Chains A and B, each alone.
Chain A
C-alpha cells in the first residue's frame, strides 16, 4: 500500500491547497496562505470524520480500526482555547532512535530536541497533538501498531526548505525506498543528493491540532489519597483516542485523583464501586474501566460515555495539570538529553503517541518521535500560558520549588503552593467556560474554581446549547463574486450593426418560410412558426433588447438563435451575469482642521453615482477615510447597485438603471395570416353569392393576383346568367368590397419592450462627491475654502475657541480661558496665603466662567 500517496492526496483535501507534483518550490505566499484543515468535514473512504469545533478539528478512532463518529463536543472549552490560535514555529526537527540514532548522516534527526519552549524556567506541561498525521495514517489503513505520522516540519542542514515537496516525495514512494532525494538525506551527501524534499512551515495552524493536557492518575489507591501508588501520567489525547486504555485516562478519573490532591479528600477505597466521600463517588470497575461515572451532581451527565459516543474531552475539570513525565519515559532522562528541563508542545511522543515512520535510503525504517520547537520568546511563552489557562486548571511557571511543576501533583494540601507567584490558574467563568485568561499567585484565590472540590461545581453543562458568540467586529465589507445565473433565456452581446440587421429580419423572417410562387398554405406556415419560434410570432421570441454604456464582458462567437431559428447573425455569448466596477477615490480630508465646520450641518456632502443618482453622505462617515464606490451592474435586469464604502466598509447603497431598453418591432405574423385568410374567404363568398344571383362574372384573376395570386382558384369564367336584379347589384358591391379588402390588408406591427430614458447617460460617468462648505468672516473664500488666519486669530483672542478639555486653567498656556464647574476649595489663597472669603470664592467661580486671560509667556 502506498501510504504516502494517500497522505499526499489527503493533505490536498485537508488543506485546500494544491500539492505540487513538480519540482518547483513553493513560495512564501503559498505558506502565508496555508490553511490547514480549512474544510469543515473530511471523509476518506468513509472511515473518518472530523468534527468541527469552530476552527478546531478532532479526529477520533475507536478500536484501532474503527472510526468513532458523531462527537458533539462543540462545547468543549478547547473551543475557546484554540480558536484562531497558531503557533509560530521557529525550529523543528525530528528524532530517530533506531536504528541509527547516532549517525552523523542524520544529525538533525538524532538530537532529541524535544523542546518547545526553550526556557528552563517556564516548563509548560501541555502537549499539542497533531491530529493530522495520526488520523490520516489510521484513516488510510494503518493499524494502531503502525503509527504513521506525517510531520510537516522538516529542515535540512543546508537550510533548504522545499516545503511542500515532502508530500510529493512521499507520494513518489520510490524515494522512500532508497533513491535520491529521500527526505532524510542531508549531511554528507553530494549536492545533487541532498535533501531537496524537506518541508517546513513557519506557522502551524492550531486548528489542525487540539490541545490536550497531560494528567496524572493513579492505578491504585491506597488507604489514603495522600499516598497513592501506581502513578501514571497520560495525556488526554490518549483518552480521546478511545483505545483500550482510553477509559483509564478519563478526565473524571484524572480529576478524581487531582481533587484528592487539591482538596485533601481522604478515605479508603477499593478497586471497584467505591464511595470515596459523600461528595465524590466513583464507580470503579475492573481496570479502571468507567462505563459510567458519577461524581456528585455529575450523575447522569453523559460525559465521555463510549456507549453514547458523547465526548467532552475538555470538560473543565478541576485540579492540577501534571508535569512532563512523558519526556523522561519517551526521550530519556534530563541528564542524557537535557530535555528534562523542557516541557512544551509535543508532536507525537509518548508510548501511545504517534511516531514517525521513516524509511531511509537503505530501506530501513526509522521510528522516532518528532518534536517541534517553539522559540522561547516572552510572547510565545505567554501564548502557551493562555493555552494552558484554557483548561481551567492550575499550571505553573516554576520548574522547581514551592510552585515547581512537581507541586502540581505533590502530596499535601497546603495553600502556599497554590498562591505562589509562579502558580497560575485558568479562569473559568460562571458558565463554566474559559477564554485563556488566568490568575496568578494570590490572585488565584479570587478565581471561581480555586476551591472546587467536585466536578459538579463547574456550571458547565454539556446539555446546554453553547453560548452565543460575541459580536464579531469588522471594519471591512466582503464582496462575493456573483456566479453565473442559469437563465431560461439566451443572451447575446451585439453590436449596433447587428441590431439593425436583426431588426430587418424581424420584418422579413416569415417570407423565407412561404413559397411566394405558390399558394399560401396557412397550416404549413403555422406549423413552421411553431416549430421554429415556439410561438406564432417570431418577435415573441425576443424578451428584451438593452443598450449598455460599456463593452459587456463576452467571449467567443455564435449566431443569434430565435427559438430554434438561426438568424445567421453573429454575436458574442454573454460571459457573466454581473460585473463589479470600482470607482476609487483618495482619503477625504477635512478642510477646516477637522473642526465642527467640517461636519453637518455646516458642511454637507452629496455623492453622485453614475446611473444611480445622488445621495446624501454624512461627512462624519467618510472624513479621514478613503471613499470608494463599488458599482455592481446586473446584466440580467440592467440595474446597478452602488456600494459606497468608507475604508472598505459599506456605509450606503444606491440603486439605479444602467441599461436603456430598446423597443423591438416586427410583423405580427399571426395576425397577418389571419386577416388574409378572412379576407380571401370573404371574397370567395361574395363571388359565390354573385354566381347565385346570376351576375355575369368576369375574370377576376388579375385582382387576385394583386395580392397572393390566384389563391382560391376562383378565376374560372362562368356564363352569363341573365337578368339583373337588385340582388345582383348588392352582390356586385360586396364583391368589390371584398376585392378591396384583400388588396388593402395592413401588416400589423408588434412591439416588444418600451423605450427607457437615456438621460442618465448624459452626465458624469464617474462618481463625484459634492461638498458644500459654509462661509463666514473666518473663512477665506476660495475653492476649496481655507481659514482666514488673521480673522481666526482675532476671534480666538476675543472669544476663544470652543473646546472641552479637562485641565487646570494654567495648563492652557496663554490667552483667554473660559472654564466651567471649577473645583475650588476653602483654602484658595492669595500670595500671603490668606484664604479667600466665601464671597470671593463665588467671585472667582464667576470670573472663571466669564473668562480668564493668562499672560503670554515670552521666552
Chain B
C-alpha cells in the first residue's frame, strides 16, 4: 500500500480538504505493514524525512480513506511512526453529500429564517423603537376647532326638535 502526506489548513468539517492541500511527498510512500493496521486508527511507519513532520493529513490508497495525522513518533533507525485517525467526511464525502436528512443549519440559507435561532447574537432586552401611523382617512378628528357638543334632553313633543329619526 502507499500513502500520501498532505498539509492542509482546511476546517476539519470540510468534505473537500484535498483540493487546497499541499502534497508533501513527491511520490507515494510505500508501506509494508508488519503488524495489524487498524482501519479507523492506523499507524504508518516510514523512513524519516523532515518534510514529513509538517504533514497533518494523509491518504491511504489501500483503504481508500483519508486520515488526520496525529503527533508522530521518531523511532530508532530514523523510522517515523505516524499515528492517524480516519476523516470520514473526506473519505465518504460523496455519500455524505447524497445523504438525506433534516437540515437544521445551513450557511447557504444566507439569512435567518422563521426558525428561532438561539445562537444568533441578539439582545432582546435592548430595543429599537419605531412607529407607523395609520391616519384617519377623512381627517375627521379635531380637538381644537371642529368639535361638537351633543345635548341629550328629555321630552320634546313628537316631531319637535332633536334626532332626525
Chain A interface (Cβ < 8 Å from any Cβ of B):
484-487, 489-496, 498-499, 502, 533-535, 540-552, 554-556, 558-564, 566, 571, 573-575, 581-586, 588, 592-597, 599, 601-602, 604, 610, 627-629, 631, 635, 638, 659, 662, 761-762, 764-779, 781-785, 787, 792, 795-797, 799-810, 812-824, 828-832, 834, 836-837, 839-840, 843-844, 847-848, 850-855
Contacts and interface: CB of A to CB of B under 8 A. Distances in A.
Nearest to A846: B88
Interface stretch (B25-33, B73-81, B136-144): B136-144
Interface in B63-119: 63-65, 86, 88-89, 91-92, 94-117, 119
A25 B73 CA distance: 103
7 contacts: A490-B156, A494-B151, A551-B140, A560-B151, A592-B112, A808-B97, A855-B15
Interface of B: 11, 13-16, 19, 39-40, 63-65, 86, 88-89, 91-92, 94-117, 119-124, 126-138, 140-143, 146-157, 160-165
A597 B112 contact: yes
A708 to B, nearest CB: 29
Nearest to B135: A766
Contacts of A817: 103, 105-108
Contacts of B121: 776-778, 795
A855 B19 contact: yes
B20 to A, nearest CB: 9
Contact of B13 (A801, A822, A847): A847
For the complex of A and B, 4 pairs with smallest distance between CB atoms: A490-B162, A815-B107, A810-B97, A800-B105
B128 A814 contact: no
A823 B40 contact: no
Contacts of A770: 129-131
B13 A850 contact: yes
A772 B114 CA distance: 18
Contacts of A534: 154-155
Given A771-B132, A785-B128, A809-B96, A799 B13 contact: no
Contacts of A548: 147-150
A581 B153 contact: no
Contacts of B131: 768-771
Given A561-B156, A815-B108, A843 B88 contact: yes
B14 to A, nearest CB: 4
A731 to B, nearest CB: 47
Contact of A808 (B99, B114, B149, B150): B99
A745 to B, nearest CB: 28
Contacts of B91: 830, 840
B131 to A, nearest CB: 5
Contacts of A822: 99-101
B96 A774 contact: no
A830 B65 contact: yes
A814 B107 CA distance: 7
A604 B102 CA distance: 30
Given A498-B149, A552-B150, A562-B155, A588 B40 contact: no
Contact of B102 (A776, A805, A853): A805
B132 A585 contact: yes
A542 to B, nearest CB: 5
A258 B103 CA distance: 60
Contacts of A769: 131-134
Contacts of A585: 132-134
B36 to A, nearest CB: 15
B92 A484 contact: no
Contacts, number: 424
A584 B132 CA distance: 11
Determine which residue in B39, B106, B111 has the highest number of CB atoms from chain A within 10 A of its CB, and name it.
Answer: B106
Contact of A597 (B86, B119, B122, B146): B122
A662 to B, nearest CB: 7
Contacts of B148: 493-495, 547-548, 550-552, 554
A549 B143 CA distance: 5
B152 A490 contact: yes
Given A561-B156, A801-B113, A771 B129 contact: yes
A587 to B, nearest CB: 10
B164 A783 contact: no
A629 B134 CA distance: 8
A847 B153 contact: no
Given A599-B114, A765-B136, A561 B161 contact: yes
Given A499-B149, A595-B112, A855 B14 contact: yes
Given A592-B112, A774-B123, 10 more contacts: A533-B155, A548-B148, A548-B150, A581-B138, A582-B137, A585-B134, A627-B132, A804-B103, A812-B108, A817-B103
A494 B148 CA distance: 6
Given A540-B154, A548-B147, A550-B142, A776 B96 contact: no
A778 B103 contact: no
Contacts of A828: 92, 95, 99
B114 A840 contact: no
A40 to B, nearest CB: 27
B106 A766 contact: no
A562 B103 contact: no
Contacts of B128: 772-775, 779, 781-785
Nearest to A607: B134
A496 B149 CA distance: 7
Contacts of A773: 127-130
A561 B153 contact: yes
A768 B99 contact: no
Nearest to A492: B151
Contacts of A492: 150-151, 153, 161-162
B64 A834 contact: yes
B104 A804 contact: yes
B149 A801 contact: no
Nearest to A486: B165
A561 B127 contact: no
A796 B110 contact: yes
A843 B40 CA distance: 10
A595 B109 CA distance: 12
Contacts of A561: 153, 155-157, 160-162
Contacts of A837: 39-40
Contact of A839 (B40, B111, B155): B40
B112 A852 contact: no
B149 A581 contact: no
A809 B99 contact: yes
A832 B88 contact: no
A800 B106 contact: yes
A549 B141 contact: yes
A806 B129 CA distance: 37
A534 B86 CA distance: 104
Given A490-B153, A585-B134, A834-B64, A806 B103 contact: yes
A143 B68 CA distance: 103
B28 to A, nearest CB: 16
A494 B164 CA distance: 15
A493 B149 contact: yes
B126 A775 contact: yes
Determine which residue in B14, B135, B143 has the highest number of CB atoms from chain A within 10 A of its CB, and name it.
Answer: B143
Contacts of A586: 132
Given A549-B147, A802-B104, A822-B99, A484 B165 contact: yes
Contacts of B140: 550-551, 581
A809 B97 contact: yes
B142 A549 contact: yes
Contacts of B124: 601-602, 774
B161 A573 contact: yes
Contact of A836 (B19, B92, B115, B149): B92
B23 to A, nearest CB: 18
A809 B103 contact: yes
Contacts of A847: 13, 88-89, 96
Nearest to B64: A832
